[in-house]
Amino acid sequence: MNGVTIPLKELVQPLNIIARHLTTDMYNCKPSHLPEAEDFQAELPELIQAAGFHILTKEAYAINKDHLAMAMLLHEGHFTVHIYTTLRYVAADMFLCEKDAAPELLFKSLRDLFKPEKTKTTYLKRGDFGTVKDMKPRIKTKVAPLRRIHNTGARVIRLLAHQHHSVD
């Protein structure tokens, strides 16, 4: 750095956030929508590009017969995904180096591709030099309509069973 030291305070003062980081967990994905290794390597890059991101390099691995993984370095940041076929679980994350980047289209496409019953997405502002309160991640959970009906039915049955036992 040629002996020039710039105080950290001067570097970070004008910034609000440096990047956005989204993670998503997709549970109980439809088995028919979990790809084989060959399909996986073709489908995901197409989704990335359709969402407007630019792939610089990608690597895909079949870690074992039940675990596929892909990492892509993007012009805008990076994207990784792990698919656990036996567990019917998909984990993905995307780090975008632009505070106004919009990964929501890609994550909607991933939900459409894997058809999970439940999705948990966490939004992080990376490099947020604001207050401690600002650093707390925002978490959003979606439950498929059929899963919601199933969960409600199970609660009703437990409630009725509890009332039946308390009457005895």
* CATH code of the domain covering residue 79: 3.60.90.10
User: Using CA atoms, how far apart are residues 56 and 49, in angstroms rounded to an integer?
Assistant: 11
Q: Is the dihedral of CA 53, 104, 137, 69 positive or negative?
A: negative
Give residue 68's domain range: 17-167
Q: Is residue 29 part of a domain?
A: yes
Q: Is residue 10 part of a domain?
A: no
Interacting residues of 54 by C-beta distance below 8 A, sequence separation 6+: 74, 75, 76
* Residue 162 host element (H or E): helix 145-167
Q: Is residue 5 part of a domain?
A: no
Find the Cα–Cα–Cα–Cα dihedral 112, 121, 56, 49, rounded to 10°: 30
Our count of domains for the chain comes to 1
Band of residue 164 on the pLDDT scale cut at 50, 70, 90: low
For residues 49-65, average pLDDT? 92
Band of residue 1 on the pLDDT scale cut at 50, 70, 90: very low
Q: Is residue 9 part of a domain?
A: no
3-state secondary structure of 14: coil
Residue 148 near residue 141 (C-beta atoms within 8 A): no
For residues 80-84, average pLDDT? 94
pTM tops 0.85, yes or no: no
Q: Is residue 2 part of a domain?
A: no
In the prediction, which pLDDT does 10 show? 47
Q: Is residue 133 part of a domain?
A: yes
Q: Is residue 72 part of a domain?
A: yes
For residues 70-77, average pLDDT? 94
119 or 168: which carries more pLDDT confidence? 119
Band of residue 124 on the pLDDT scale cut at 50, 70, 90: confident
Residue 146 near residue 154 (C-beta atoms within 8 A): no
Helix then strand then coil, in percent of the chain rounded to 5, is: 35, 35, 30
